[in-house]
Amino acid sequence: MKIGCPREIKPQEFRVGMTPNAAREAVAHGHSVVVEAGAGVGSGFDDADYVAAGATILRTAQEVFAEADMIVKVKEPQMSERRLLREGQLLFTYLHLAPDPAQTNDLLASGCTAIAYETVTDAQGGLPLLAPMSEVAGKLAPQVGAWTLQKANGGRGVLLGGVPGVSPAKVVVIGGGVVGTHAARVAAGMGADVTVLDRSLPRMRYLDDVFGGQFKTSYASAGNTADMVAQADLVIGAVLVPGAAAPKLVTRAQLATMKHGAAIVDVAIDQGGCFETSHATTHEDPIYEVEGIMHYCVANMPGAVARTSTIALGNATMPFLLALADKGWKKACADDPHLMNGLNVHAGKLTYAAVGEALGIDTISPLEAIRA
């Protein structure tokens, strides 16, 4: 199979879909790899690194899309990239289709087969290709939240850890999954007063058992969430419904109950965000104010630490990438039901039910797509 890796073109996105090590592995499996010139520079990989791994460098994205049987990326294809996709081509990347009808319609119209990193599962019920970026985003959230709280950025002027004689900031993390756990650990490590809200009692017991003393847990009822948000200096939204749009857990009306200059970091923004007032921003212009509350809603947070993120993502995606290339997508998915859960689009049909429900589009099952 010929595998193509174009340069990411989403604003301020410095990650790359394949590392030179991934290219070397694919070549060792008998495949050919074509990489757009400069694709890895933002993550610290030169074209020469890919050539040494056995890949071929092509000048433009158009050439990569035209030659490759499978396109491997990081972020969802942008409009200009979607025009380059063709019938029968395999796309392997993050998609986050539920809040993005334009992308969904373009992928359906292209006739391609699209497997989304964020809906591939594992035997433990986890999301192995989302987890590395969730870990990065979770660890970044308190860092960018602390920056957003600075007075020069419109925030309250509160230091997360406080100082002797001055109380630390109150940080509320909504969601106790991978993102929330890492966010809570880092915020607590910075000295903040941290509470994690979740609806799963077993998960809260786990967090108390493993991290007891580092941060508190509380049940995420509507009333309790409202009370905690009103007291917070920083709220981190860390809720995920796999493949579906994020639930809106904090309303615009609730902003009026918050402290003026408090900050919100919406890590769920890729799935539409879990605050009613959230809309996607970029690293270049990351924050905005609504009702006196500062919102940080960058849709590709891990892109800020591109080298760490690229290597972590590459480690996770490599076994699946090789299975798709070695077996072809149909056999690879038939052999691995967890990979099959990643199938979102095939030949003009939507194959992921949660996306169909969010967008009002009829779906077929992945099994139907495999047998087609």
Residues taking part in catalysis: 96, 270
Instruction: Please state whether 254 falls in left (phi above 0), alpha (psi between -120 and 50) or beta.
Output: alpha
In this structure, the number of other CB atoms found within 10 A of the CB of residue 87 comes to 11
CA distances from 258 to 70, 144, 216, 232 (A): 48, 19, 20, 7
What secondary structure letter does DSSP report for 35?
Answer: E
Distance (Å, whole) CA 57 – CA 32 = 11
Q: Could you give the count of Cα atoms lying within 13 Å of 87 in the half-sphere of its Cβ?
A: 4
d(CA 21, CA 318): 9
Is residue 187 within 8 A of residue 215, CB to CB? The reply is: yes
Q: Return the DSSP state at 269.
A: G
User: Which amino acid would we find at residue 371?
Assistant: R
Local structure of residue 119 (DSSP, 8 states): G
**d(C-alpha 132, C-alpha 318), whole Å:** 13
Query: What DSSP string describes 324-368?
Result: HHHH-HHHHHHH-HHHHTTEEEETTEE--HHHHHHHT--B--HHH
DSSP string, 271-306: GT-SBTT---B-SSS-EEEETTEEEE-BTTGGGGGH
CA atoms within 13 A on the CB side of 127: 19
Cα(87)–Cα(106) distance, integer angstroms: 12
